[in-house]
Structure 1
Amino acid sequence: MLRKKIFTTLAILLASTLAFSQFTKTEAELQALVEKTNTVGLAVAVVKNGKIIYAHSFGAKDVGKNIPLSNGDIFRIASISKSFSATAIMQLAAAKKLTLADDFSKLVGFKVRNPKFPETIITLKMILSHTSSINDSEGYFNLDVINPEKGKNWEKCYNDYEPGKGYAYCNLNFNMVGAVIEKITGERFDSYIKNHVLNPLGLYGGYWVESLNPALFTTLYEYNASEKKFVPSPMAYAPRTEEINNYVMGYSTPIFSPTGGMKISATDLAKYMTMHMYYGKYDGKRIITKKYAKLMQTKISDKETYGLAITTTDKLINGKTLKGHTGSAYGLFSAMFFDPKEKFGMVVITNGTNGGYTDGFNNIIKSSFNVLYENLVK
């Protein structure tokens, strides 16, 4: 009995030593990457078999104030936000409040038709999969641009191909989706996401700036190539108080940017990612049904890797097909990708970098994923 306890204790000590060694190696390699790519700050989180096994932050949260980045700090994560909007739609579809085949015009409250193909219905699924033939040429910060009753150039919001017959990534699609969520639920978009996605998962974050602790905001920095320096982007956390005070439910929704305005930490984003990895369930709580979770991750076609706010790639980690999303805005770059079969995933976020791209991914993002995979997952 005593011998068994000794062996058990030795095994635990050995495992702890090996883990510590791997974490030390990982941190040294990531720190070297931060320096090599001229990165301001970097936050990472790794999930394996449903648990966060590693989370760490490097560099600065605020350069001017000399504040280091920490794991609890939150970022405006840009386009990964789209998956929160799609998750909400999946909840409503499961509750039979709408269907993905619905005519989007009827859902959003104004005519959404490509003038070159006026008889072709643009469905909710087309909007979510970026196959709607809609583009961002007229902007996407208000719905007037595409509303025929208000936008002078609304026809320019459509591409030349028939809806459903082509793919073009489009932010306006998801800002309209946010308006639909309000129309269907009667709940303001930011509140719906908080009450039906974030709170059930025990996550801190949201779309409404003034509902969050400003001390947690990570300053985002855009690189100015001509001046060879990083410049802060305060508009990333603009409160837009006046616009919110004059808010029109089901129409003013782009103020919160359903397409890119979620603010959350890398660690909490990793928990949210784990919910998708386990097809809608995390920590005993089901957020969306398995059917709709899988649908989000299913490519529209072999040609297009996008599903419903979740894309598929084999370019991030060699030999691995991953599901997830990237984001970039105001100098930030973010990535959330996971393997639903092998049950591992990673979140990597930087608040400013100048390291270039490889295979369509920012270098600090791609390199960090590979370091984390090789050291902590593989």
Structure 2
Amino acid sequence: MFSIRFFKQAALALACVTLTSGLLPQPLWANQPENPPGYCILPPYQQLAKPTTLDKQLLSTMEQYKIVGLSAAVFKDNKLVWSNGYGWSNLETCRPVTSDTLFRVASLSKMVTATALMQLYEQRKFDLDDDISNYLGYKVRNPHFPNSKITFRQLLTHTSSITDNGAYYSIVEETPDLLRKIDIKDMLVPDGQYYTAETFSDYAPGTKFSYSNFGTGIVGSLVEKISGMPFDKYCSKYIFNPLNMDASFEPADLKNWQNIAVLYRPDEQLTSFRPTKDDFQGSKPKPATFSAPLGSALGRSPAGGLRTSSTDLSKFMQAHMNGGRYNRTRILKADTADLMHSMQWFGNSMDGFYKQKGLNFHITDDLVPGKRLIGHSGEAYGLSSDAYYDPDSKLGVIFMMNGGNMTDANPYYSVENAIAKTLFDTFAPKTINTTKKISAKSNAAYIIVNDRKIVLPAPAAIVKTGQTKNLFLPAISAADALGVSLGQTGETYTYTYGQNKAALTAGRAVMLVNGKTMNLANAPYKQQETVLVPIQELASALKVDIKLSF
């Protein structure tokens, strides 16, 4: 038997269709089970007056994956070239999604948090390999490795050995309001009220990757300690306001707060949706109250609490794509932006989702086949979000969904792959010069690849054999320069590009290419803790087109 709530919601859904499309709707209760308490029906999407091919493709994908609402934007070079919204930002009130709808963007926030810290880095407030203890004002150590420091770089690459386990997870799940009250020190020092050894992994800092929201919370806390400002106020003053973004980690500060999207999770049948976050019931969000001391930013959600729109976030992404500058506004020096986007870690984590990482920027080959993209993804409370750009074509996409079928990750959800591919197929240049122009000097601390600077963990080397000169680069930097994937077993490095694989081992003058052994003019070699590999022979084996200048 149907509940009164179900008929009320069905009637509301019919009103949504009638008001937005002017079409005669079909009864939504036909062949529908009773709506679970607290859930909303997903009404049919708005019927566009003159839908483009792109509109039809995106709406078809939304229908397939039962997406509540979608906002998307595409930027190219120095401008926004397209944006639109589809579906619903609030199922109770039939409020549609537009390109200006604001979403809680989840882990896309980490790019902003890292940017805030790196602004302080370029002011020489700290070095990336400094011990964070010296800036927090108390000693932070993994109890399993008490003699190993934990650094800024490790926090920004998720290799600090600080995890989301222990007290952080239980507080977030059970008593999240507590994050606005407690001193983060009490979670990090052995005599702290909320300290547990489970917060730390059983590997040494800097040796393995473990995705950590808590680690990014510490990054936000360091921003407070070093700048002397609350984290959210710092981001508004030095990032959002200069870029003219309606964005904040504090919802009460948003100008367009009435257009914040409600986030939803579906039932098992994907027919009804339960609101999970940002359901403000038509009232302006009240400012959060904090009693935690400055330097304890967890309650301000540096890891996931940013609210903004796809169009405004495109300003931030354009700044990163264009060397730290958006139009005439600079938020980072070009060298700092390049450093953040350079490969700092490689491996295989989270079932292959993370294979390459910059400084809180994700480097991926898996969202759109054949494209290396730089950016980040997000997921929380039913939301799924992506913001990435292609450094070769200077094209970027942003899209946010506030609920739907998110069950088939491999490593991205299928709906993410479908939307990203549709946007790139529509807007990417039909022909792209894929030649990697690499400029290097012997003993230099960096190389230039297509105008992008890659900082090297060890100096480049030019090795002469007879009349031939070969450029040797650190193994991780070679992968970054060529735009290929990299794996490691001991001192053997395996590079993958499409169907081609090449494996090199320190001290061996041979390379295994697609199962066949090839001789090298000079063997890869170890310099301190870094293995250097020959870039020309590697590029030839992988069939990557390069043009060298050294």
TM over 0.5: yes
Query: Does the aligned pair in 2 maintain the 1:349–1:365 contact within 8 Å?
Result: no
1:300-319 equivalent positions in 2, closer than 5 A: 300-303=344-347, 304-319=355-370
Q: Secondary structure at the match of 1:271?
A: helix
Alpha-carbon distance in structure 2 between the residues aligned to 1:132 and 1:151: 22
Partner residue in 2 for 1:154: 196
**Bigger radius of gyration, 1 or 2?**
2
Q: How much has 1:354 moved relative to structure 2?
A: 0.9
Partner residue in 2 for 1:338: 389
Alpha-carbon distance in structure 2 between the residues aligned to 1:117 and 1:236: 44
1:58-97 equivalent positions in 2, closer than 5 A: 58-97=86-125
Amino acid in the other structure paired with 2:187: V
Q: Secondary structure at the match of 1:52?
A: strand
Of 137, 157, 160, the match for 1:109: 137
1:326-359: per-residue Cα shift (whole Å, max 9, x none)? 0001111000010123200000100001153343
Q: How much has 1:239 moved relative to structure 2?
A: 5.7
Query: Does the aligned pair in 2 maintain the 1:358–1:366 contact within 8 Å?
Result: no
Partner residue in 2 for 1:14: none
How many equivalent residue pairs?
A: 355
Q: Secondary structure at the match of 1:59?
A: strand
Partner residue in 1 for 2:303: 259
The runs of at least 4 consecutive aligned structure 1 residues that moved more than 4 Å come to 235-242
Amino acid in the other structure paired with 2:273: F
Of 216, 225, 228, the match for 1:174: 216
Q: How much has 1:146 moved relative to structure 2?
A: 2.8
Partner residue in 2 for 1:270: 314
TM-score normalised over the length of structure 2: 0.62
Q: How much has 1:270 moved relative to structure 2?
A: 1.3
Shift in alpha-carbon separation, 1:197–1:352, aligned structure 2, 3 A: same
Query: Does the aligned pair in 1 maintain the 2:71–2:101 contact within 8 Å?
Result: no
Query: Does the aligned pair in 2 maintain the 1:243–1:255 contact within 8 Å?
Result: no
Shift in alpha-carbon separation, 1:185–1:355, aligned structure 2, 3 A: closer
Partner residue in 2 for 1:202: 244
Partner residue in 2 for 1:219: 262
Partner residue in 2 for 1:326: 377
Alpha-carbon distance in structure 2 between the residues aligned to 1:202 and 1:241: 21
Amino acid in the other structure paired with 2:385: S
Amino acid in the other structure paired with 1:178: G
Alpha-carbon distance in structure 1 between the residues aligned to 2:70 and 2:207: 39
Q: Secondary structure at the match of 2:370?
A: coil
Of 55, 59, 74, the match for 2:83: 55
Matched, 1:135 2:177: no
Partner residue in 2 for 1:249: 294
Q: Secondary structure at the match of 2:87?
A: strand
Alpha-carbon distance in structure 2 between the residues aligned to 1:133 and 1:351: 32
Alpha-carbon distance in structure 2 between the residues aligned to 1:184 and 1:153: 24
Partner residue in 2 for 1:293: 337
Q: How much has 1:301 moved relative to structure 2?
A: 3.1
Amino acid in the other structure paired with 2:423: L
Amino acid in the other structure paired with 2:149: I
1:176-212: per-residue Cα shift (whole Å, max 9, x none)? 1111111111111111000101111111110012112
Query: Does the aligned pair in 2 maintain the 1:198–1:205 contact within 8 Å?
Result: yes
Matched, 1:192 2:220: no
Alpha-carbon distance in structure 1 between the residues aligned to 2:330 and 2:342: 19
1:26-73: per-residue Cα shift (whole Å, max 9, x none)? 111001001010000001100112211110100001011111111211
Which runs of 5 or more structure 1 residues have no equivalent in the other structure?
Answer: 1-21
Alpha-carbon distance in structure 2 between the residues aligned to 1:350 and 1:288: 29
Of 274, 298, 301, the match for 1:231: 274
Partner residue in 2 for 1:41: 69
Higher strand share: 2
Alpha-carbon distance in structure 1 between the residues aligned to 2:285 and 2:221: 19
Higher helix share: 1
Alpha-carbon distance in structure 1 between the residues aligned to 2:79 and 2:72: 14
Amino acid in the other structure paired with 2:79: K
